[in-house]
Structure 1
Amino acid sequence: MQASVMEWFESLPVWGKAAAVGGAVLAASVPVYLVTKRPRPSPYKSDWKQGVVYLYQVPRFSTIPSASPYCLKLETWLRMADITYENVDVPMSVRSREGLVPFVELNGVEYPDSGLAIRDLTKFLAKEAMEAHLNDEQKSASRAFEKMIEHSTMWTYGMIRYLEKFDEFAELFPPFLGPLQPLLVWMMKRSIRSGVAQRIKAVGIGCHPRDEIINIGLEDLRAVSNYLGNKHYLTGYKPTRVDATLFGFLAQVVYMPIASPHNDLIQQECTNLKEYCDRIKGRFWPDWNECTQKRSLHTEWKKRI
């Protein structure tokens, strides 16, 4: 079906392609506009249960539970913190009050942004003990590595995934767009590439040559690898918030079948980062195959240990 749609599209004259794209944009954007502009109930989950965290995120992928490092970060932290949560199966148009995913709801209250949600849930669910063993130096280092990964390293890899190899990335998309998926992916490619290019420039590294941008990311990974050393987790034998953040990003590189200098470095030089990812995956994602191959949203993962 997808091949026939693209063959039909390629057979059109230039004006026909323009008309088809315009029609597809209109067909796709009108319902999205109506849904996103219509005030949605808050909380979205009307039949919520006391003490249960409801997680809203992007659809599952075939090779990784989430292709969003922020979504994977937040769900991994929920598992590390042993918090009762449920994934809410919602349309992709559902967003937080800030217009982004992931976000969570707890006891009828919404908490947007993965980092802020972790901060607030730590307080409201009394999970401070996860970080209580850290000294001031470790807390400072953890925060520094979090910010480095999310505001530097991630965008050097984003250049590979979204600007250079988007077609490979798009082939892994779950079939959530229906028969028009090839055409809509074609439009998404242009929109996402433009947005990512702007973000890379906005964080200050996009003005450099490609090799320099890549080198920034590789030096970031070497710094994480050196600090991790032979430890189980970044700060020792207990996982903390920074480990969820690092895993959310590193898993994109390690488990996504897209070649990159970042993955080459991890496989050949910084092998402790691969072992680190495998360790976290094995302990907190025993249902990895079910989440990826079946795209399961079930959260009874502890029963599988």
Structure 2
Amino acid sequence: METIVDALNDMDASQKFKVLYAVGGGVVAVVSVVAITRTLLFKKTRKDYPRDTVILHQVGRAPYAPSMTPFAVKLETYLRMARIPYQVDECVLLHAARTQHCINFLNQKLGVDLNRDLSPADRGVAQAMKVMAEEHLYWFLVLFRWRFDNDKSFLSSAFNFKFGKCTMWMYRQHLNKQTWTQGLGRHTEGEITEMFKKDLQSMSDFMGTKKFLMGDEPCEADCAVFGQLSQFYWQFLGTGHEDIIKVKVQNVSPGPGKGLMKSTSTSAILRKDLLTGRAMATHSEEDFYKCSPNTCVSSDKYSNLAAYCERMKDSFWPDWHQCITHGGTREATK
């Protein structure tokens, strides 16, 4: 600093003016670039929103689920479950609020209680399952999607057109630091895979044959659990574990009166042609198919989680196909 001051003192008035002019111009240029960037990225467009309607700001729709972030799926599922009128407003970037804070605010403001039928003990269990999903299972999603997925083609197709490769790289570095600080990022891929499967097994064991997390009726924690599982079920591409909670069916011939087409996806299995309203986990495979000797049916041990995902989608997302981009082949209409 003293060297700079001495150099300025040695200059005459005109030289000092030129230096200060150059420095001032540089500062103005930097401030201008920052201001323009903020204006473009965070520009608020004035829209005429209807009264008494929640405006849900999110990055945008995703290839096979309504959002690439499980927390956006959680919050939108909550709005649907609570029957709160809302509209989705797509933003390039936004300052994200914690979804649970949004839910707590709406619960208090509108008198919503999706846990009203739960006992105090059940509320505690539901909270514990929600925390496991959002504070532990979520980090496996981050690791598999952003660190262990060497292909990155799915992420590229979902995000690059919006953010660019440079932003994607910076975000990946940011997430790597987060997972390291959180702790799970210090483990190998093999260790992470085993812990991930243990979490899924715990959730599967707890859910058992129940229709929803805590019984025959959904509760608030279902929104969080479904938000996380929606990513593993529909959008786990490129990780090597795409079918980890799906039921795979190969060469299935329809049984009498079943009307079941050949399929490799649980989405086609849990349709209204089957035992309507009954969870797959409560029935043997023979309940669903009359297999010929050449038929091969293989099911994953998390089949009840697959059935749960389909049930939540059918219950609260009847317009699911309008809320996804179908692998980026079309614009979502809702």
| TM range, smaller chain | 0.7 to 0.9
Partner of 2:290: none
Which of 203, 226, 231 lines up with 2:205 in the alignment?
A: 226
Answer whether contact 1:253 1:263 (CA < 8 A) is retained. yes
Provide, for residues 244-283 of structure 1, a one-character-per-residue CA deviation record: whole Å limited to 9, x for no partner. 1111111111111515465544231111000000001112
Provide, for residues 15-65 of structure 1, a one-character-per-residue CA deviation record: whole Å limited to 9, x for no partner. xxxxxxxxxxx9xx8577332898x77xx7664443211100111112111
Structure 1 residues 204 and 253: CA distance shift in structure 2, 3 A: same
Which of 142, 145, 150 lines up with 2:126 in the alignment?
A: 142
- Which residue identity does 1:223 align to in structure 2? S
CA distance in 1, matches of 2:148, 2:34: 30
Partner of 1:6: none
CA distance in 2, matches of 1:193, 1:89: 22
Q: Which has the higher contact order (CA 8 A, sep 6+)?
A: 1
Partner of 1:273: 305
CA distance in 1, matches of 2:88, 2:130: 24
Partner of 1:115: 100
Structure 1 residues 127 and 295: CA distance shift in structure 2, 3 A: farther
Provide, for residues 141-193 of structure 1, a one-character-per-residue CA deviation record: whole Å limited to 9, x for no partner. 1111111111111111211111122622224326754xxx7xx22x2332122
- Which residue identity does 1:296 align to in structure 2? A
Answer whether contact 2:143 2:185 (CA < 8 A) is retained. no
Provide, for residues 50-100 of structure 1, a one-character-per-residue CA deviation record: whole Å limited to 9, x for no partner. 32111001111121110111111100111111111111233x13x2xxx32
Alignment of 1:252 with 2:284, yes or no, is no
Structure 1 residues 259 and 274: CA distance shift in structure 2, 3 A: farther
Aligned with 2:184: secondary structure? Answer: coil
Answer whether contact 1:157 1:262 (CA < 8 A) is retained. no
Answer whether contact 2:152 2:238 (CA < 8 A) is retained. no
Answer whether contact 2:66 2:73 (CA < 8 A) is retained. yes
Partner of 1:303: none
- Which residue identity does 1:125 align to in structure 2? L
Alignment of 1:35 with 2:36, yes or no, is no
Partner of 1:71: 72
Query: Structure 2, unaligned stretches of length 5 or more?
Result: 1-29, 247-299
Structure 1 residues 135 and 71: CA distance shift in structure 2, 3 A: same
CA distance in 2, matches of 1:263, 1:144: 26
- Which residue identity does 2:332 align to in structure 1? S
CA distance in 2, matches of 1:114, 1:291: 19
Aligned with 1:54: secondary structure? Answer: strand
Structure 1 residues 222 and 261: CA distance shift in structure 2, 3 A: farther
Alignment of 1:217 with 2:196, yes or no, is yes
Aligned with 1:150: secondary structure? Answer: helix
Which of 138, 149, 157 lines up with 1:154 in the alignment?
A: 138
Structure 1 residues 207 and 174: CA distance shift in structure 2, 3 A: closer
Answer whether contact 2:61 2:332 (CA < 8 A) is retained. yes
CA distance in 1, matches of 2:40, 2:204: 42
CA distance in 2, matches of 1:295, 1:143: 36
Provide, for residues 166-221 of structure 1, a one-character-per-residue CA deviation record: whole Å limited to 9, x for no partner. 622224326754xxx7xx22x23321221121111122222222222222221111
Answer whether contact 2:145 2:236 (CA < 8 A) is retained. no
Answer whether contact 2:137 2:196 (CA < 8 A) is retained. yes
CA distance in 2, matches of 1:76, 1:53: 13
Aligned with 1:78: secondary structure? Answer: helix
Which of 122, 129, 154 lines up with 1:169 in the alignment?
A: 154
Structure 1 residues 263 and 257: CA distance shift in structure 2, 3 A: closer
Identity between Structure 1 and Structure 2 (%):
27
Query: Structure 1, unaligned stretches of length 5 or more?
Result: 1-25, 101-111, 299-305
TM-score w.r.t. structure 1 length?
0.72
Aligned 1:77-88 pairs, distance under 5 A: 77-88=78-89
Q: Considering only aligned residues, what root-mean-square deviation do their CA atoms show, in Å?
A: 2.6
CA distance in 1, matches of 2:37, 2:177: 24
Aligned with 2:125: secondary structure? Answer: helix
Aligned with 2:90: secondary structure? Answer: coil
CA distance in 2, matches of 1:134, 1:200: 34
CA distance in 2, matches of 1:205, 1:32: 38
CA distance in 2, matches of 1:283, 1:119: 23
Answer whether contact 1:218 1:262 (CA < 8 A) is retained. no
